[in-house]
Amino acid sequence: MTTTTLSQPGSRPSATADADGTNASHAARIDHVSKSFGRPGAQQHVLDDISIDVAPGEFVCLLGASGCGKSTLLNLVAGLDSPSAGSIETPGGRPALMFQEHALFPWLTAGRNIELALRLRGVPRAERRAEAERLLELVRLKGAYGKRVHELSGGMRQRVAMARALAQDSRLLLMDEPFAALDAITRDVLHDELTRIWQESNDGTAGSGGLSVLFVTHNVREAVRLAERVVLLSSRPGRIAREWTVDIPQPRRIEDAAVADLSVEITEQLRGEIRRHGQH
């Protein structure tokens, strides 16, 4: 069990009995987590008493306006920072993380970027090339192995970044507004891809035991399009305002009436949250 608490900030032992997470009841447990920045006396509370459980194979969207601390929360789950109070457990080991920027290394080709992640995970040299090709094929970029990052379009870069994140073979994929910088058509396509990859990882044929996604966005439609559960955070400090279970069957489309309906409802609530900040 990988646990981050106040007593062991930042440290993430990974090799324990149930580290594979198969018999864990959750992919991530965020338990009464608070986070403040700044020195005592002049502290800024960014997150206040957040508790979220992500079930194995579940797709959860964190939704909120600016200042709700969504990225901070993701950093905590990724182990890049430690909470001021509360604990975070990720039984499947270190989660994979994808950013708004592709963050691919420009000195490596697309394929080598993926191979570096494989190498750092401990995959033997002989298997890396084939595995990188397989992951590129998974994101439908079969011929891109030798391409440099700058030779790829924005959407292709994010797909390589997705492949690199998947190369970590983590049970939990954290995504920090990964499609926010893309044009609408490309974003739409990547929504379909992400849904497909997530479903394929969880239909039992992939054999890797399922993939949970914790996806941060400020785009209500995107959240409803993708998630099984949408968690709305209030801002300053970030608190859980409300949760919705999205039981519209996949594959959904962003223009589906049901997606639009729920989006209207969530947007109303989100606007209410934002309005509260203008009242004093």
Type of residue numbered 61: C
Q: How many residues are there in the chain?
A: 280
257: contact with another protein by CB under 8 A: yes
Helices 125-138 and 154-167, axial angle in degrees (round to 10): 130
Separation between Cα atoms, residue 216 and residue 268, nearest integer Å: 19
Question: At its nearest, how many Å lie between another protein and the CB of residue 261?
Answer: 6
Among 56, 86, 155, 210, binds another protein (CB under 8 A): 155
Alpha-carbon separation of residue 257 from 219, 261, 275 (angstroms): 17, 6, 27
* Residue 45 vs 119, nearer CB to another protein: 119
Of 25 and 260, nearer to another protein (C-beta) is: 260
Does 253 bind another protein (CB under 8 A)? Our answer is yes
Query: In the bound complex, what is the minimum distance in angstroms from residue 77's beta carbon to another protein?
Result: 11
Shortest distance, CB of residue 122 to another protein, whole angstroms?
Answer: 9
Nearest distance in Å: CB 226, another protein: 14
Q: How far is the CB of 221 from another protein (least distance, A)?
A: 5
105 binds another protein (CB under 8 A): yes
**137 contributes a contact to another protein by CB under 8 A:** no
- Alpha-carbon span 237 to 128, nearest angstrom: 44
Instruction: Indicate the residue among 6 and 260 with the shorter CB distance to another protein.
Output: 260
234, burial (CB in 10 Å: exposed 0-12, middle 13-18, buried 19+):
buried
User: Which member of 124, 204, 249, 278 binds another protein (CB under 8 A)?
Assistant: 249
Q: Is 103 in the site for another protein (CB under 8 A)?
A: yes
Binds another protein (CB under 8 A): choice among 36, 87, 186, 269:
186
Of 35 and 48, the one with the shorter C-beta distance to another protein is: 35
Site for another protein contains 260 (CB under 8 A): yes
Residues 6+ apart with CB under 8 A from 151: none
Question: Helices 110-121 and 154-167 sit at what angle, rounded to 10 degrees?
Answer: 20
Parallel, antiparallel or unpaired: strands 96-98 and 44-54: unpaired
Interface with another protein (CB under 8 A), residue from 39, 150, 275, 280: 150
Q: Determine, following the binding rule CB under 8 A, whether residue 33 of this chain makes contact with another protein.
A: no
Q: Which parts of this chain interact with another protein (CB under 8 A)?
A: 78, 80, 94, 96-97, 99, 101, 103-108, 116-117, 120-121, 140-141, 148-156, 164, 167-168, 184-186, 189, 192-193, 196, 218-222, 248-249, 251-261, 263-264, 267
